[in-house]
Amino acid sequence: MLTGLSIENFAVIKKLDIGLEPGLCVFTGETGAGKSVIIEAVSMALGARADTDYIRTGEDKAVVTLVIDGDEEKLGRKLEEIGLPCELPVIIRREISSQSRSICRINGSIVPLSQLGAFCKGLCDIHGQYDHQYLLDSDNHLTVLDLYGGGELSKAKAETAARYADYAALSGSLMELRKTLSEAKRERELLTYELHDIEAAALKPKEDEDLEEQISVMENAEQISEALSRAYEEVFSSDSSALSSLGDAADGLAAIEGFSSDYKSLSEELRDIYYRTEDLKNRMRRLRDGASFSPDELDSAIERLETINALKRKYGGTLDAVLAYAAKAKSSLEALEDSDGRVRELEQKIQKARALYDESASLLSSLRKKAAASLEENITTELSELNFKNARFSVLLGKGPVSAEGTDTAEFLISANKGEDLRPLAKVASGGELSRIMLALKRIIADIDGIPTMIFDEIDTGISGATAGIVGEKLRSISRGHQVICITHLPQIASLGDHHYLIKKTTGETSTSTTVEKLDENLRIEELARLLSGTEITETARAQAKELLARR
């Protein structure tokens, strides 16, 4: 609840300090005294847009300070959400300067306006004489109905929103996939061509290096054949060849290897050299015999290398890059080819998600119908008590588009007089009727929305007499569970307040100031008498004022 309000240099207010109490706090004052200015100041402190026009003439800045106290757990949680420690009471300070700068502070810490608004949301609800427009917009009626529906409906609504989010996400993925598939048609054709181009070549790793070596060998075949033949003849063919000499030497050492382990080791090593040289003979003979190539073989190798080099130029510069490009193209094509399966899979998931959403939306609709019937009954009762004796209130539920809110629409209908058809609220309600309808709604919803402080600015517009007294009783009833601050010009309402504040305007030679005074019993009688009789207070008016106070 609000426990204190300080205003400096705001419109006609020079300096104002008000201590606020629990229960029903009524504010009265003459027209133009600045009652609505106080509401504007409170609105700004709670996070409304700052307007430099509110800075008092001749001053550089305006300052509004609110003191909020109450539920430590709730306030502590809200402070934690914006990164501030729990420190009660909470002091909100809002400054606006003539340089269009606005500074917001919570417990001395500067915070962005968005954080100030987030913190204040749910702490104070302001209803002015023009705020009834909220009720006239049927887009808001479903929100009011859902709030009235309470915890079970809130849970169903949250589940519906979650399932809608799943359904919408899957639908978005399918739409994106289909768009991608449409755009991928040309890509698929290109990848298919490129993969066929590479796979047709049947490439092997390092094949280009092998071909370069083969071509070099074939182009120098004559020189290679001559060198191999000459080496073969000299090492292996003559009677005094190196191989023959190694054999003779190995045989000689074999004859003495029994005399010493050194001789035996030397003999074995020489015999090993002999055998390896024999292997070398066979290899050299094979190479010599295969050193001749036909021109067709050379042309075929050159053509193959040119094919590979052409692919290297197109797909990466190296044979490894070409093979990697082919692997990637194949993977991409497989992904594209699998797209039809992914579409079917997504369609199945969407079907299941939609079924779950429809189930939740159906439950939500049922709960809304139940809540609507209860709200109709309660509002009609409240309106009857507010002097709408023959009024009927109805909630028209309809089907809307699929959304996170479900598939329902809601519109409030009313028949203010007997025999009249139900019609949309905006088409039949006068200002006074709207005030009472809004009050009826707040009376019913007050205990559900959990807002500790409610401010009503001239909710009594368009009513008088017995109806005013009934409105006052409703406000008083709400104030038993909430702090209610009410600006009124009706004595029937003002007399029911637990606390009465008088807003006065003082005009000097060069300036005008607004002050607020909390009235004691005697001053309260005088103010109620003024409201009853006008500028000239009569004894009869004082007597009536005393009578009104006595009825509390």
Peptide bond into 112 cis (omega under 30): no
CA-to-CA separations, 136 to 387, 423, 437, in angstroms, rounded: 21, 12, 11
C-alpha angle 425/153/435, rounded to 5°? Answer: 25
Q: In degrees to the nearest 10, what's the CA dihedral of 265, 267, 271, 274?
A: 120
Per-residue pLDDT of the chain (552 residues; tens, 9 = 90+): 999 999 999 988 889 999 999 999 999 988 776 788 898 899 999 988 888 888 998 899 999 999 999 889 899 999 999 999 999 999 999 999 988 788 999 999 999 999 998 899 888 888 765 556 667 788 889 988 998 998 899 999 999 999 999 999 999 999 988 887 777 777 778 888 888 988 888 889 988 888 888 787 787 777 777 777 777 777 777 666 777 777 778 888 888 888 888 888 888 888 888 888 888 878 877 777 666 666 777 788 888 889 889 999 998 888 999 899 889 888 888 777 777 778 889 999 999 999 999 999 999 999 999 999 999 999 999 888 888 888 889 999 999 999 999 999 999 999 888 888 899 987 876 666 777 787 888 888 776 777 899 888 867 777 777 888 888 998 998 998 899 999 998 999 999 999 999 998 887 766 777 889 999 999 999 999 999 987 788 899 999 999 999 887
Token pair of 114 as six digits: 């968005």
Which is it for strands 124-127 and 453-457: parallel, antiparallel or unpaired?
parallel
Give one DSSP letter per residue of 509-540, joined into a string. SS-EEEEEEE--HHHHHHHHHHHHH-SS--HH
Token pair of 312 as six digits: 């290297």
Token pair of 29 as six digits: 């004052």
290 Cβ contact partners less than 8 Å away, ≥ 6 residues apart: none
Closest Cα partner for 225 from 285, 302, 281, 277?
285
CA-to-CA separations, 492 to 32, 129, 464, 470, 552, in angstroms, rounded: 21, 18, 8, 9, 10
